[in-house]
Structure formats: C-alpha cells, structure tokens
A and B are shown apart, each in its own frame.
Chain A
Amino acid sequence: MELLLQRIFDALFNGAIYASLAIALVMIYRATGLLNFAQGELATFSAYVGFLMLAPTGTAAAGIGLVSFLPGLPWPVPLAIAGAVIFGASVGGLTERLLIRPLEGRPDISVVNVTIGLLIAVNGLTVELWGTSARRFPSPFPSETSDFFNVGGARLRYESIGVWLTLLVLLGLLALFLHRTKIGLAFRAITANRASAQLCGIRVGRVLMLGWAVAAGIGALAAALVADVVLLEPFMMIRLLIFSFAAATIGGLDSPLGALVGGVVVAMTQTLVPAYIPLISTELSLLPPLLVMAAVLLVRPTGLFGTRRVERV
C-alpha cells in the first residue's frame, strides 16, 4: 500500500510535466490544426540557455555569447528559468513568423516537414554546441533527499508539490489570458473560426505568433523543471515529447482539460504498469502509453475529449 502510494506520488511529478507540455501542444493544435514536433527540442535548447545563466564552466560554457550581455550573471535558479522561458517564447514566436506563417495555404504535410526539420536541426545544434554529456540543472524547489512530507509512509516530495503548484498557476494565468484579455479573446475567436475572425479585423498572424510564443515558453518551463530529474542532455525531451503527445492524444488534441487528465493518465501507466507487469521493464515504460494512445485513436480517432469532425467530399 505504501509502495503503491509512493509510486503514485512519483508519477504525479511526471504527470505535471507531461500535462504542461500537452497543454502547450493543444493550444497550438486548437488554433491552427498543427502540431509542433520541434516543441521538445526548442524547450531543451531553451533549458540549455537557462543553464548558461547559472555560471557554467568548461565545455558547458559554449554559446555563452547568447547570454553574456545580461547584467548580474550568474543568476539565481528561478531567474535563470524565467530567462529560459523568455528565450523559448521569443524563439517560438520567431518560428511562427519565419517558418510557419509563410507556409499558409500549403498542405499540412509541409508544416510537418518543417517542424520535423526544426527538431532535427535544433537537436543537432544542441549536440554541436554542448555535446552529449548530461548535466544537472538545479531545481528551484527544495529538492534535498530530506525534503518531503510523510503521507501514510510514502514520501511526497516538495519538488512534486512545487511543480504542481507551478502547473496550476500556469493554468490559471492561461485561463486569465484567454478569457480576460483582448488578445485572449482574439485567440479564442481564431480557434472558433479563423476566417470569420480575420474578417472581423483580428490580426490572425500576430495573435498566432503570440500563441506560439506562449506555447514555446510553457515548453521551456517544463524542460527547465524536469531537467533536475532527467538531467539536462540533448535527447532528454524526445521521450517526454512522445509522452506528452500521448497525453494530448488520449485527452483529445483540442481539449486543455483532456490534456491535463491525459498527462496524469500517461504518467500513471508509465509508473504503475512496469511496476506490476514484470514483462514490461522500466525502460519500456514508453510502450504502455503508446498502446493506450493507439487504442484510444482506434476507438475514437479524435481522442477521448476531442470534438468529432464530420468530413465532406
């Protein structure tokens, strides 16, 4: 029982990370019908930039020129994460402006190609600059081995609570942004009906650029928070991206609440299935969420909470 509780607590941390990445994916998917395959790699790169703000040494200092103009380096951890988020958001906005918007009217597969290209290129650049060795990105929350609440004999780490609080604050801010600001209204209008929104005088391009920036910022935040646990290395986000894709798909690609539920479900299957089914090792933890994702898609091709689409010839 204690062990089960402990496993659920462990899964909660991952659940928050997957959920936040999934929410970022869903935001873009709702507005544009596109998925950003490069989301994870851009987030990794941003986390490295955040790492540069934390007094790196030796080979880790490559590309220091990206941040050396900033005053008062090295920065404390929360500020460096904020820096990573701002960097990620800028790159996300630029990506929309330079790589996605010019493809408007082209087939969807062009955007798939460009985001896959970006995934490969950014990953290559990360390896090129910082090599493949793993680094520890300190957590902004108390993360010593003694930092936990004892709940029924299981350890609920402060770090998990911190990540969940961050996620909830993020969701609150996102809801405020979408429902209480004019740009948020414009974003929702584009999501509902892009052509009509454009006819109403909404500058679709600018609003979407902001949307991509917010999504990339969320991704950078998730990468910086998870880098304490999975360690900062160029390939850290590929598995995470699959998990969050699975979370988003299980929840339905156009439902933010679904993404949250999906994130937790994926994290639970990832932790609990290898623990109780010996055939599936921890390393294979990717398999159950993928199978769940495939099963969900086969039964409901638009996900559990997704809107069904009627197609015409």
Chain B
Amino acid sequence: MTAKLETTTPPAGQEYPWRHEQRPGRSRITNAISAVFVAVLIVLPFLIDPIALRRTAGVIVLTLAVLGVVVATGYTGLISLGHGAFVGVGAFAMGAYLDLVNLPFLLALPATFATSWVIGWLFGLPALRIKGIYLALITLGLGVVFPSLAKRFPEITGGVTGRPIDSTMEAPAWLGADHTITYRYFFCLAVCAVMFWMTWKILGSRMGRAMQAVRDDETSAAAFGVKLVTIKAGAFALSAALAGMAGALQAVLFPFVSHEQFNVFLSFRLYAAAVIGGAGFVIGAVYGVAALIIVPALNSVVGLLDNDVLVFGVGLILFTFLSPNGIAGSVRRWERR
C-alpha cells in the first residue's frame, strides 16, 4: 500500500484529546484501584443473590465492548457509534454456534470471536476512505439499523420475539446446580481476563504503536511505513471481536437472544462509558463500566429518575468539558502530581 497524498491529516490543534502515554505504566494508584476492582469482582457472588448477580454480570461483560470502543476510537481514532451492533453479532453468533452447529462452549467462543473479527474487518475496510465525522455517521447508521436487520434472520435471532438458546452452561456436578450462576460468572470473568491480557499485549506491541500513529497523523504514519489497510481494518476487527465476545458472554450468562437488547442506545451507552472512563486507556473501559453499574444502582436507591440514560448524556458533556481523558486521565494526572 502506497501512501496517498490525499489522505487527510488534522490541522494543528485538531489532535485527539487522549494522545499521550498509552503503554500500561507502573503506577501505585492505578494498581491499587485495579486490586480493589479484582477483589470486589471475586467476592461479589457471595454478597448478592443469583438474579442480581446475573444482571450485574451482564453489565460487567460489557467491559469488553467498551474496551472495543477504546481500541477503535481511543487508540486508532476511528469514531464508532455503533458498537452495540457488534455485541449483537457476537450474541447471535454464539447462539447459532451452540444450537445450530452444536459446538461446545469452549469451541463456540473462539468461533464467535473469529466471526465478529471478520465482520468487523469488513466494516473496517470502508473506514480506509470514510473518515472522521462520516465514519461516525456510518457507524451510527449501523447501530440504528441493526435491530431491524437482525429480525430478518429469524432462524438465528428468533425474529421479533427473540430466541432462547437451548444449550446452557451448567455448573459441574461436584459444585452443585445451585451454583450455576456463580459458575457462569467466574467463567465470564476468566474470559474477560484473557481478552484484557490479549488486548493489552496487542496495544503495547508494534501494532498498538502503529494504531496510535494512525490516530495522531495518518499521512505521516503512512510515510513512516505503517500499512494503513492492515492497521485500520485490523483495529476495527479487534474492536468488533471484543464487542462480540461481550455479546457471547451475555448469551452464556442468560441464554436468550433478542434484537431488542442491541438497539442504538446500547451503542450510545458503550460510547459514553468509553469516553467517561477514559477512551485512551485500557483501564478506562473498567472505569466506564463501573459507572454503568454504579449509576443505575444509586438511582434505584435515590429513585430520582425513571431512565438513567440521562445521566450518561450529561456525563458525556461534563467529561468532555472538564476531563477529556475521562476518569482514567484524571487518575493519571493525580498520580503525576
């Protein structure tokens, strides 16, 4: 791929706000916060009842989808307002692999990952020519159209009503059937951990640096030998595959898929969570999802609002003004002091 002179470059002062340092650094505060998160995740099943656990876990696995937004938007500069669609792709693919192909869970997951990867890669190809705000438009369109598109394939998606997935993950006999939800929960945590580790490694590698170079200045990146096709399509593919895994895990936790779960407001939530958490940081995805859990929980206690999506809209605006690098950026600034 030769560098084309017509490729866009943002004029001075147009860089993405989250530009500095993306390599996981050694820092006490972030480490301490991460340790607290891990501790909470481990004790959580013993604190709340299975129904609440399953609901919370459904949001926790969304961390992977938010991580997907971080990879695409924060690291590579490809604005995606339609990641809810990729979560849906993952959930439907998982359901299809389990029921229609009869794969076991441990094979269905990688198959789902690969499927979402390929679909994301296909969507990443137009991103080579469609840039910035236009890409935001196309992805927003994808997010809006996805539920109606899903309804057209009833044998996979269950059409209008949705579809229960027949093969469900049960706890092994030595654990007892009472602990099925807890078992699924830890299974999901393990998958999330593997995905985080993999993303972390990729972002710290040559590819991760190339992604940031593309984000900061596409033309100079190409001039320095970064292959734009590989990097942009690859970043979008990775990002979609992560979102797909979130969907697959949701299908593991709660074996039912329906187009209604994957509407455009899911995409908005994921985008808001990424920006609020800190789109330039891997840990930003964790902070963002923590907000997705804490805000509704607080709201159910206070009972002020019927729909908490309002909070995320206001949060998105406030964070853009006050801390464009999100919570992770603020923590980092605090550490440097």
A contact residues vs B (CB 8 Å cutoff): 34-35, 37, 99, 102-103, 105-110, 112-114, 116-125, 127-128, 238-239, 242, 245-246, 249, 281, 283-284, 286-287, 290, 293-294, 297-298, 301, 309-313
Contact = CB atoms under 8 A, between A and B. Distances in A.
Contacts of A34: 133
21 contacts: A35-B137, A37-B136, A99-B317, A102-B321, A107-B10, A107-B15, A110-B320, A110-B324, A113-B319, A117-B314, A118-B313, A123-B309, A124-B309, A128-B307, A245-B137, A245-B140, A283-B151, A286-B145, A286-B148, A298-B129, A298-B130
B39 interface: no
Contacts of A116: 81, 268, 271-272, 316
A85 B148 CA distance: 32
B225 interface: no
B152 interface: yes
B267 to A, nearest CB: 10
B126 interface: yes
A18 B201 CA distance: 46
Interface string B273-312: 0010000000000000000000000000000011111111
Contacts of A293: 137-138, 141
Given A120-B272, A311-B9, A242 B131 contact: no
A110 B126 contact: no
B215 to A, nearest CB: 10
A113 to B, nearest CB: 4
Contact of A284 (B17, B132, B152): B152
B146 to A, nearest CB: 10
A297 B130 contact: yes
B50 interface: no
Interface residues of B, number: 60
Contacts of B321: 102-103, 114
A37 B133 CA distance: 10
B148 A313 contact: no
Nearest to B315: A117
B21 interface: no
B141 A246 contact: yes
Contacts of A294: 126, 130, 138
Contacts of A310: 6
B264 A35 contact: no
A283 to B, nearest CB: 5
Contact of B313 (A123, A246, A297): A123
Contact of A242 (B126, B140, B268): B140
A117 B313 contact: yes
Contacts of A37: 136, 140
Given A117-B316, A311-B9, 7 more contacts: A37-B140, A106-B324, A120-B265, A120-B272, A121-B316, A290-B142, A294-B138
Interface in B148-205: 148-149, 151-152
B7 interface: yes
Contact of A121 (B145, B148, B317, B320): B317
A119 B310 CA distance: 9
B254 interface: no
Interface pairs A-B: 5 shortest CB-CB: A121-B313, A124-B310, A117-B316, A120-B313, A117-B317
Contacts of B7: 311
Contacts of B134: 249, 297, 301
Contacts of B17: 106-107, 109-110
Contacts of B324: 106, 110
A310 B219 CA distance: 13
Contacts of B102: none
Interface string B1-28: 0000111111001111100000000000
Contacts of B320: 103, 110, 113-114, 117
B220 interface: yes
A198 to B, nearest CB: 16
Contacts of B223: 313
Nearest to A299: B129
A298 B126 contact: yes
A287 B314 CA distance: 31
Contacts of B10: 107-108
Instruction: With a 10 A CB-CB cut-off, give which of B15, B130, B320 has the most chain A CB atoms.
Output: B320
A249 B309 contact: no
B79 interface: yes
Contact of B14 (A107, A117, A249): A107
B219 A284 contact: no
Contacts of B6: 310-311
Contacts of A284: 145, 148-149, 152
A106 B11 CA distance: 11
B246 interface: no
Given A99-B317, A107-B17, A290-B145, A120 B133 contact: no
Given A294-B138, A297-B130, A121 B310 contact: yes
A286 B9 CA distance: 32
Contacts of B275: 113
A123 B152 CA distance: 27
Given A290-B145, A301-B131, A114 B137 contact: no
B67 interface: no
Contacts of B9: 311-313
Contacts of A119: 268, 313
B235 interface: no
B240 interface: no
A251 to B, nearest CB: 13
